[in-house]
Structure 1
Amino acid sequence: MMHDYLRAIGFSNLKNNKDVRDVINLVMLRPTSEYIAPSSDEEAVFGEKVKEFASRMGIAVRGEYEENGNFHFGYYLPYFKGKHSTFKEEVTIEKQSDKDAYSGICDNVKVGVSLIFQLLNMSDYLDYMEFHKGPSFFTPISLSGLSISGKIILPVLKTNEEVIRKKAESASRDYMIAAAREGDQDAIESLTLEDIDLYASISRRSKKEDILTIVESYFMPYGIACDQYSIMGDILSVERVQNILTEEYVYILTLECNDLIFDICINKADLFGEPAPGRRFRGTVWMQGLVDFMNL
């Protein structure tokens, strides 16, 4: 999977494993920044070398430093850092079973499922855990995504009154979901009736309308990987950056999806259509995130 998502940050020209190794060696020899975990009784400690190839995106190489200072490669991670605080929520950090990496898990009412993302600022987490304990934190989270396949969809025409009404309905539904999670029986029954009405409305409209005019945005799990999602959301802003090594162009899109605001990046060659504010993006993303441990 790592190899696939390298193209999202401007490395679509890597043809084989040798090309990938050459890029990884460049990161290890000339990193933009380095990190060594706090010393411990173990013979080797976690280390990370990071090289940025465009605005807020690059490759992180993680492994171990021995006592003599030698760095041993473990795995690499293409990354993209968002600049918007997506929400403030309780997040649980869990170590991944297959490698020395961590995932963030939080339950957000706007998504409807447990949202799982790759923790990017692992160094901040290790530093914080040196003096604190506990896997759960209530803190701002900045989500981002890497995409290798996406399309630009035309927006749904809405009046100002419809926009205001939908925001009010969304806020009311969020309140009802929160109450239902606390065991409020009235809220559970109201949500059940709303879902039945919504299903009937969609079934009726789908006979005459295109599904993309009925469903304005969505955020749902995709495939077998727990941190990959299929999304569709409104484009708030568009930025085009260039990979300084490959000179490939990458789009940075700020999206509003299910009332969540976050950034994604996608190679210009992998995006079908011309992005612009007001239009919609539809595609699959690998979710990543920054957890603000400084505000705990």
Structure 2
Amino acid sequence: MHKFLRAVGFSKIKNRKELNALITATIQDATRRNYVTTPEDGMIAEFTRDFADYIGLAVCGEFDEEDKFIYEYYYPYLIPTNVSTEEDINIERHAATISYEGVCNEPRVGVTLIFYLQNMIPYIKYENEKKFPIRGTTLSLSALSTKGQIMMPIAKTEEEKEVAKKKMGYRNKLINNARKGDETAIESLTLEDMDLYTTLSKKIRKQDVYSLVDSYFMPYGVECDHYSVLGEITETKKVKNRFTDEIVHIMRINCNELEFDVAINEVDLLGEPAVGRRFKGNIWMQGAINYPESK
């Protein structure tokens, strides 16, 4: 049973029989069907079914010599709505299945961003045609969460927001220079981090940590595409899973100036989401590559 099925409105599926019925329904009434041939003359197929706006289930596998579909794996998804980053992306295949992880060196989050690739069929097609590297690609990110809570924002004046934005821009510039080997930038970042640590160590004795930390983006657990995040909600909407009638909240999150969508089941969310408030939770990051031809 996939841990994040509940994030798209399937919290009440308890056994393999119910899961098999869901997978069969997805294949038979798929919203989209994508196919690609392999160098060994096989055919990979992906059936996706939207059970509400933006959320659904994908079933992947191969067709055999008798044109019979052999199911291999499935995963729930949230279709991202906007471009999150234009940084370079590297893609690596998983060892056990025909599925892929993406790696992006996004300076705004301070860690190497790793995500589960949603649109693998277009990627395999480009790979078969030997079109890589492709210039002008962008990345749209989304995430699923099984546990989260809504927090109130930190009170800030417009002037303070502007100062924070300028500081973030300057820090991103330093990080980009440091990645190119600029020793002055590396030294400046080190000193800045030391100053920040000293300031926080003094303030945290008297203040709550979430009144000091506006947002964060950190690896979580042992799986490389799982993160713990805290970010400001910029958009929010509710959708209903047509198969189960469960309510799912979809939020657009601004986390360290990186924006992505998050879906979470209403029963797993503590608090009422609203624009300006903050979302705190653990997520599974997904991403879709936007190729220049498909814009």
Structure 1 runs not aligned, ≥5 long:
none
**What TM-score does the superposition give when structure 2 sets the normalisation length?**
0.96
CA distance in 2, matches of 1:235, 1:129: 36
Give SS of 1:213's match: helix
CA distance in 2, matches of 1:288, 1:136: 20
- Write the mapping of 1:1-296 to structure 2, written as runs, cut at 5 A: 3-38=2-37, 40-42=39-41, 44-134=42-132, 139-295=137-293
CA distance in 1, matches of 2:49, 2:135: 29
CA distance in 2, matches of 1:139, 1:258: 22
Contact 2:136–2:292 (Cα < 8 Å) also in 1: no
Contact 1:241–1:252 (Cα < 8 Å) also in 2: yes
**What TM-score does the superposition give when structure 1 sets the normalisation length?**
0.96
Q: Alpha-carbon deviation of 1:294?
A: 3.3
Q: Alpha-carbon deviation of 1:67?
A: 3.4
The C-alpha deviation readout for 1:106-146, integer Å capped at 9, x for no partner, is 11111111110000011111222232244676521000000
Give SS of 2:170's match: helix
CA distance in 2, matches of 1:67, 1:259: 49
Q: Alpha-carbon deviation of 1:178?
A: 0.9
CA distance in 2, matches of 1:228, 1:137: 28
Contact 1:237–1:276 (Cα < 8 Å) also in 2: yes
The C-alpha deviation readout for 1:197-255, integer Å capped at 9, x for no partner, is 10010001101110001100001100001100000000011100000110111000011
Give SS of 2:205's match: coil
Contact 2:136–2:291 (Cα < 8 Å) also in 1: no
| Coordinate RMSD, CA, aligned | 1.5
The C-alpha deviation readout for 1:50-84, integer Å capped at 9, x for no partner, is 11101111111100012332100000011111101
Contact 1:93–1:135 (Cα < 8 Å) also in 2: no
What amino acid is the match of 1:63?
A: G
Structure 1 residues 231 and 222: alpha-carbon distance in aligned structure 2, compared to 1, 3 A threshold = same
Segments of 4+ moved more than 6 angstroms? none
CA distance in 2, matches of 1:100, 1:211: 42
What amino acid is the match of 1:151?
A: Q
What amino acid is the match of 1:156?
A: I
CA distance in 1, matches of 2:274, 2:27: 37
The C-alpha deviation readout for 1:159-189, integer Å capped at 9, x for no partner, is 1110000000000011111111111111111
**Kindly, what percent of the aligned residue pairs are identical?**
42
Contact 2:103–2:114 (Cα < 8 Å) also in 1: yes
What amino acid is the match of 1:68?
A: E
Contact 1:91–1:137 (Cα < 8 Å) also in 2: no
The C-alpha deviation readout for 1:30-66, integer Å capped at 9, x for no partner, is 2122122136443x32111111101111111100012
Q: How many residue pairs align between the two structures?
A: 294
Contact 1:31–1:49 (Cα < 8 Å) also in 2: yes
